[in-house]
Amino acid sequence: MDAAKTLNLLCEGQSARVRGISACGAVLRRFRDLGLINGTLVKCVLSGNGGMSAYLIRGALIAIRNEDAEKIII
């Protein structure tokens, strides 16, 4: 079995599907509200050095902090 990879490790132009989320409470609810559930295709549009990256999720461009993206398993 391969090691788990998280969303923050995607480079610009790469895509992956969500396999799980290691968050709870309000953070998990926010991710679900954004459409991040198992099987969702996510594409990294802009990998930022300022602590945030931009992802294309279900047709919407969403900025996610790197510390939050670490909780999304792809």
Q: pLDDT of 15-59, one tens digit each?
A: 999 999 999 999 999 999 999 999 999 999 999 878 999 999 999
Structure tokens at 1: 């079995």
Could you tell me the fold of the domain covering 7-73?
SH3 type barrels. (2.30.30)
| Interatomic CA distance for residues 28 and 65, integer angstroms | 14
Rounded to two decimals, what is the model's pTM?
Answer: 0.88
In this model, does residue 1 exceed pLDDT 60? Answer: no
CA 49 to chain centroid, in Å, comes to 16
The residues spanned by each domain of the chain are 7-73
